[in-house]
Amino acid sequence: MTGLRWGILATGGIAAAFASDLRTEGLALQAVGSRSAASAQAFAERFDIARAHASYEELAADPDIDIVYVATPHPMHHENARMLLENGKHVLVEKPFTINRAEAHDLQTLAAERGLLVMEAMWTRYLPHMVRIREIVAAGTLGELRSMHADHTQSLPVDPAHRINALELGGGALLDLGIYPLSFICDVLGVPTGIRALATLGETGADTEVGTVMLHEGGAVSTSLSSSRGAGANTATIVGTKARIDVDRVWYTPTSFRVTSADGTVLEEYDGSIPAGRGMQFQAFAAERLVASGSWAGDILPIAESVAIMGVLDDIRAQIGLKYPGE
């Protein structure tokens, strides 16, 4: 560990989950920034944080902070991360990385110019069971990869003002939920060469269901389903010519999986549960390791791949007619 000094920008639920996991692992969480002094102070007291900043700008200017986790709503990611990079901070940006590929590429370019780490906080990629799945795939245990399915479905509020339904907050199942299976699919099969998408749009114009069928290099086909109006199994399957991996629910959290050969023999059973926390600490470990090595591009989720995935989301949105204010 490098002993990086962490700050958190925003004080919502995901910020609290990240702060809790940092505290569980004893990482140096030293500052929080909010748009209000009261919110920053309450968050600081809750997580025993030394400095509470009454604005995002104050946090960005704090000379005793090395890296900041951005936990604002999707449309603010680009602006917030850009401000932090301009102030010399490494940045871990909550998923989805930005609203679109253009914003993502801008952050990639600026971080490279400044010699800083900018990294998407797709925390599931860093979980122990995901690390093991990549090892199994790389070893050729599954044979030639032929297909993959993953879903992320939840029963979320239907209130038009809720962030999941509010276009001005980047609402919709795709960016909030679909990013998980789509990132997982790209991790295993690579960025798709062909995309077909269908969706149901809700009362506000935000998508409530999105289904994708994608073609990948080598001929593998993937499917994904995301929904904000009904909770499903939330499992995932990777199928190869020799074997398959079945990831139990909820696949995007610490969980178990099985590797089963084509003849039905169970080759491996893996328990990916963790002793404490939600599992967001693993991405923090990765960020600290990358800063220590000076490898700004990343390895588990290179910044170039985050930019490419935002391009996939752009393509899907174009097909389903989903556009955000200001685009």
Mean pLDDT of the chain: 97
- Give the pTM: 0.96
| Parallel, antiparallel or unpaired: strands 67-70 and 5-9 | parallel
Question: Both 252 and 148 in a single domain?
Answer: yes
The pLDDT confidence band at residue 324, using thresholds 50, 70 and 90, is very high
Answer yes or no: do 138 and 253 share one domain. Answer: yes
Indicate if 162 and 264 belong to the same structural domain: yes
Mean pLDDT confidence for 180-209: 98
142 lies in the same domain as 93: no
CATH code, 38 = 3.40.50.720
For residue 31, list its beta bridge partners: 7, 51
**158 lies in a domain?**
yes
Return the closest-CA partner of residue 93 out of 21, 13, 18. Answer: 18
Examine residue 155 and state whether it is found in any structural domain, yes or no: yes
Cα dihedral 127→220→193→185 (10° resolution): -20
Answer whether residue 301 is part of any domain. no
CB 32 within 8 A of CB 46: no
- Residue pLDDT, tens place only, 101-152: 999 999 999 999 999 999 999 999 999 999 999 999 999 999 999 999 999 9
Whether residue 143 is contained in a domain is answered as yes
3-state secondary structure of 41: helix
Q: Is residue 327 part of a domain?
A: no
Please check whether residue 326 lies inside any domain of the structure.
no
CA distance 169 to 202: 15
By residue range, what is the domain housing residue 240? 128-273+309-320
Q: What is the pLDDT of residue 1?
A: 38
Count of domains for the chain: 2
Give the integer Cα–Cα distance in Å for 6 and 140: 39
**Quick check: 298 pLDDT over 90?**
no
Strand, coil or helix: what is 309? helix
